[in-house]
Amino acid sequence: MEKRRNARNAVHTRARRCDVDNESERFASMPFALFPFRVGGEAMSHDDPWNLLTAPLIRIHTDTGMTRASLPQVLAGLGEDRIEDFPGLQRHQRDPWHLFLTQLATMALDRQGLRDPCQNEAFWRRALLELSHGEASAWRLVERNLESPAFLQTPWPKSRGAPSAQLFSSDALDALQTAKNHELKSARNDGMEVDLWLYALMSLQTTSGYSGPGNHGIARMNSGFGSRIILELVRNERWSIRFCDAVRRLFDHRQVILQGPNRWGYQRGGKALLWLDPWDGTNSRPLAGLDPSFIEICRIVRLFHGENGRLVAAKAPTKRPLLDAKAMGGVVGDPWTPVRIDQAPPKALTLNENGFTAEWQRRLLFADGVELSPLQSPIPDWSESCLLTASVIVRGQGRTDGLHFLRIPIPAKARSWIFGNKRASLNDRTKAAIQAAGEVERSALKPAVLAWLQGAPEQLSFDGPTVHWWKKVQGGYTRAWHVRLFPWLWKTAERSEQEAIHLWQGMIAEDARRSFRIGIETLPSPSAQRWKAYVTAECILEGAMRNRMRLIHKSESREGTHG
């Protein structure tokens, strides 16, 4: 609680400082009481019920309860640490929403010559409108004029005729394919809450991959069947702190891109909101001329009111993706996307259905064969503990293979090791620990469990029907040592290699024995051979683990002698 209060106080201090900043006062003094005003020939007023710049369409939790806010109010609330949560968000939408707000704020600030995300509502309303070149319709969830853009919706192509209702719930619009449900029921939302459509639209347009003919994906992933991994180092997951820290580091990342080789042709002040211009889905646009933090779309959709007055959505197929970036393999300068550099050419990291395995956790934490960005590094003035976070929807061909999360708490002292001179040695130690856990599984736990399942035969079968039962034990063992891996690393970082590995061997032996006992209690075994199977299985487990540890001790002794 003390750390949380300190973090909040830091943001509040910055908020008070912003209030007297001369540049901010320039916007605070603007006559926003003059609403409605005209921009680009059309009126925008507080009576515009679908405009995110003025209408309170987004539910937020504050320390006084739930209320509703406009998009400028959300950004102002984040800068002042007044937002506790967004109750309409689903789990898979949380990181994409954070990215959307961060990219939006950074581009709006940059065009005003500012870097501090602590600004008031009036500033954000004016800055966002300027970001859309004065096009008020670009911020409306529902825009009747089909030739004008709507929020995250390109102008509807005339060649497609009038849009017709095809999607009747926000979940049906979302990027997450729900065949396996993933804690989500498809089409369960009835559209009564407007922000559910906002989040679904944002998720669809900024995280979708290829999902069949006419449904192309975003540029920020490796191939249509890839996945957009969102990786970030944060002080904590409080919305305001994460937002302010991300904006600060995103400016650093933009500077690296714009002052470096910039093979994409990005421009400061380039195209920012890619739904503003008409797109009929038959051609692709180059990356050149875009702002480095551009917010893309990948589908032609339009929200409107159905016969019963509720929101519905129409969609139109596309022949090509919006951005011509296939040859880039997802390497488009996105700061949240880790890039594999252990292969040629480099490509955005794509995970399989196993998600963030211990091996990938290690590689991401220590940047082993992976290129990271300022978003995965601490700001120099950080003094507290931090957290490496990641999320990804793993995609297959026409399916979703799971929603995966990564959370690695990093104590304050360990942060200086990881991003200092102990990085290589800690990486090697973690690699050795992962290998040891895998060897105990392969040489001890798996044959022991199979011996139990098969009634202790003279020759074990490693590919028969009993392997299905083994996987239940394997999953429990893997989860057990995964949880203990990094706490063990921080605890032993200042100890000798030999002492650390000995401690780890004892820990994974405990995990293996516990998993074995659970297997014996829950898995079947031939009734006539149960006692024999148990004795044999236990001997295999203990004997293999003893041999494994003895080999390690001998190897360490030889290394010590030669040293």
Say if residue 96 is preceded by a cis peptide, omega within 30 of 0.
no
What pLDDT, on a 0 to 100 scale, did the predictor assign at position 466?
86
Sign, CA dihedral 186-187-191-194, equals positive
pLDDT for 23 beyond 90: no
CA 497, CA 433: separation in Å to the nearest integer?
11
pLDDT of residue 25: 39
**C-alpha span between 458 and 453 (Å, rounded):** 13
Type and span of the H or E element at 519: helix 497-522
pLDDT by residue (tens digit) across 176-194? 755 444 444 444 455 579 9
DSSP state of 326: G
The bridge status of strand 271-273 relative to strand 290-295 is: parallel
Residue 398 is predicted with a pLDDT of: 59
Q: What are the residues whose beta carbons fall under 8 Å from the beta carbon of 144, sequence distance 6 or more?
A: 304
Instruction: Please indicate whether residue 170 or residue 41 has the higher confidence score (pLDDT).
Output: 170
pLDDT the model gives residue 255:
96
CA atoms of 281 and 264, how far apart (whole Å):
22
Sole residue written with tokens 């040489």: 443
- What pLDDT is recorded for position 44? 46
The answer to which of 55-59, 80-84, 226-230 has the lowest mean pLDDT is 226-230
Q: Where are the beta strands (DSSP E) in 128-259?
A: 230-234
Residue-range domain boundaries for the chain: 2-21+38-416, 423-562
Residues 6+ positions from 413 with CB-CB distance below 8 Å: 490
Residue 12 has pLDDT above 60, yes or no: no
For residue 493, what pLDDT is reported? Answer: 96
Q: Which residue has the higher pLDDT, 70 or 176?
A: 70
What's the pLDDT tens digit per position in 519-538?
999 999 887 889 999 999 99
27: Cα separation from own chain's centroid: 33
Residue 377 has pLDDT above 80, yes or no: yes
Handedness of CA 76, 79, 82, 86 (dihedral sign): positive
Please give the Cα distance from 341 to 61 (Å, whole number). Answer: 41
Q: Report the sign of the C-alpha dihedral through residues 142, 148, 151, 157, in that order.
A: positive
| Band of pLDDT at residue 93, cut at 50, 70 and 90 | very high
> DSSP assignment of 524-555, as one string?
---GGGHHHHHHHHHHHHHHHHHHHHHHHHHH
Please answer whether residues 287 and 126 qualify as being in contact, where contact means their C-beta atoms are separated by less than 8 angstroms: no
Query: For residue 179, what pLDDT is reported?
Result: 43
Greater model confidence, 196 or 18 = 196
Measured distance CA(506)–CA(491) in Å, rounded: 14
CB-CB neighbours of 438 under 10 Å: 15
- What pLDDT score was predicted for residue 262? 92
Q: pLDDT band for position 46 (50/70/90)?
A: low
Contact 268, 304 (CB under 8 A): no
172 pLDDT exceeds 60?
yes
Spatial distance between the Cα atoms of 512 and 476, rounded to a whole number of angstroms? 9
- State the CB neighbour count (10 A cutoff) for residue 520: 18
| Mean pLDDT of the region 311-317 | 94
Sign of the dihedral through C-alpha 232, 237, 238, 241: negative
Q: What's residue 467's pLDDT?
A: 87
What pLDDT, on a 0 to 100 scale, did the predictor assign at position 16?
36
Confidence of residue 517 (pLDDT cuts 50, 70, 90): very high
pLDDT at residue 362 is higher than 70: yes
Instruction: Say what the pLDDT of residue 47 is.
Output: 72
pLDDT at 72 over 70: yes
Task: Find out whether the peptide bond into 346 is cis, omega within 30 degrees of 0.
Answer: no
pLDDT tens by residue, 242-293: 999 999 999 999 999 999 999 999 999 999 999 999 999 999 999 999 999 9
Compute the average pLDDT of residues 72-100: 97
Task: Round to whole Å and give the CA distance between 227 and 393.
Answer: 6
Instruction: Give the mean model confidence (pLDDT) for residues 425-450.
Output: 97
Residues of the chain above pLDDT 90, percent: 75
Of residues 78 and 467, more confidently modeled: 78
Q: What angle do CA 146, 148, 154 make, to 5 degrees?
A: 85
Mean of pLDDT values over 377-400? 88
Least confident of 119-133, 329-343, 385-399: 385-399
% the chain with pLDDT above 70: 86
Phi, psi angles (nearest 5°) of residue 410: -125, 110
Average pLDDT in the chain: 88
pLDDT in tens, 463-485: 888 888 999 999 999 999 999 99
pLDDT band at 559 (very low <50, low <70, confident <90, very high): very low
- pLDDT, residue 450, reads 95
Q: Which residues pair with 295 in a beta bridge?
A: 273
DSSP string, 335-366: TTS-EE-SSSS-EE----TT-S-HHHHHHHHH
- Residue 11 reports pLDDT greater than 60: no
Which residues lie below 8 Å from residue 310, measured CB to CB, with a gap of 6+?
A: 168, 190, 191, 192
* Contact present, 485 and 407 (Cβ < 8 Å): no
- Asked if residue 369 lies in contact with residue 363, where contact means CB atoms within 8 angstroms, the answer is yes
pLDDT of residue 123: 98
Residue with tokens 């001369």: 22
Rounded Cα distance between 435 and 438, Å, is 5
Say what the pTM is.
0.88
Q: What per-residue confidence (pLDDT) applies to 254?
A: 97
Burial of 32: CB neighbours in 10 Å, binned 0-12, 13-18, 19+: middle
Backbone angles phi, psi at 546, to 5 degrees: -65, -45
R_g (Cα) of the chain, nearest Å: 27
Which pLDDT value is given to residue 8? 52
